[in-house]
Structure 1
Amino acid sequence: MDNATIIARLRSLGSLPVDSTPAIDDFPLQEFDELVQQLSEPLEPSHSLVLINLGPPRDTSACGIEWSLVHAAENISAEALRNILHDADDTEVRSLIEMRLINYLKNNTE
């Protein structure tokens, strides 16, 4: 399966629900995570944006699967990542990437 097909399937599954809500019980977490793991590098920036937007709401968790989205979405240049964050939804994945990007840029510009 190519990245575009995987991204389309992830979009059809929808955003990760918060793990403290009943919606988590019906969400196909294993399938979602397996699809994320099948993505191959390099990603298109538009694919990274989709992954960021599929994260759970800010300051929540989805059984830790949001970290799979973080690591997959980061498979583009730091500059491209910084550019797409302006268009990203306010998800926990965006929040995590913003913090990591700030640290990366601080450590690599000194």
Structure 2
Amino acid sequence: MSNPVLHAFFLGRAFAEVLSEKIEDSLTNALSELGKFDAEQREHLRQFIEEVQARAQVDVTQGSTATSSSGEDSPTDLQETIDDLRAEIARLKAELKNYRAQKA
């Protein structure tokens, strides 16, 4: 290679090829790492959601156990309690009305 221009041309071409390969490898590795990171984050989110749902299920189960131990687990018992409370409120309103009428 006695011609310096020809030598510079081949040197530049080799430089461009090597640089292109290195950039391609770096970009491929970066995208691969990004994909791994995304997959890991999705897995962590899935595990977090499962843990939240499991704890909520435990709370629901414990709440059902507490309700059933107090004897108010059926809808008829609950409705009966609501009806009793409404009757008590109506009775207290009537007594309050009579009390106010006597004071006036």
Fold match, TM over 0.5?
Answer: no
The structure with the larger Rg is: 2
Give the structure with the larger helix fraction.
2
TM range (shorter): under 0.3
TM-score by length of 2: 0.25
TM-score normalised according to structure 1 size: 0.24
